[in-house]
Structure 1
C-alpha cells in the first residue's frame, strides 16, 4: 500500500440518499453523516457526496475519491489536500446541529 501524502486523509461517511436537501449533519461516533438529494442509482448519490464534500471543504472535486463503499451508505472518502484535523475543522464549522 502506498504511503499517503502528509496533507491527505480518509474519512468514514454515512450517507442518506434521496433526502429533502443536501446537508452536512456533522460527526457521530467518528463517522461523518451526510444527506444528499440524489437517488442511490447509477452513481448519482456518490456524485452528490463528492460535490457536497467538495463545497463544504472548499476543495476541488478532483481532490476527493470514494475509496470504499460505492454501493453502500457507508463509505470511505479520501481527501487529497487536507489533514484530518483541518477537514474536521471545516466540516464542524458548517455542520447542522
Structure 2
C-alpha cells in the first residue's frame, strides 16, 4: 500500500520514440494513464528509468521523489511521487489533458 504522502501515477510508456515527450492520456489497466514517450529502448529497464526521469522533469520534482511501484516489465506502470501537493495534482491533470504549456 502506498504511503499517505505519496501520489500514485499511472503511466503508459512508449519506448523507442524519436524524442522524449510527456503528455496525453491512455485508458490503461490502472485507469487513465499519462503517456510518456521515451527515446530509450525497452531493454534492461532503460525505458523505465527514462520514463521515471521524464515524469519527474514534467512534474517539476526531484528525480529521487519518483519511484516505480509496479510494472517493471510492462508498458503500463505505476509510479509513486513522494510529498505531492495540490499543484502536482493539477500539473498531472494538465499533462493528461494535453493542455500543459
- Post-superposition CA distance 1:22-49 (Å, at most 9, x none): 0012234421111000000011101101
CA RMSD of aligned residues (A): 2.2
Q: Aligned pair count?
A: 94
- Structure 2: where are the runs of 5+ without partners? none
TM-score by length of 2: 0.79
Residues 33 and 96 of structure 2 are in contact (CA less than 8 Å); yes or no, is this contact kept in structure 1?
no
Alignment of 1:1-97 (within 5 A): 1=1, 4-6=3-5, 8-29=6-27, 30-83=32-85, 86-91=87-92, 92=94, 96=98
Q: TM-score by structure 1 length?
A: 0.82
| The structure with more strand, counted as a fraction of residues | 2
Alpha-carbon displacement from aligned partner over 1:41-60 (angstroms, at most 9, x marks no partner): 01110110111011111111
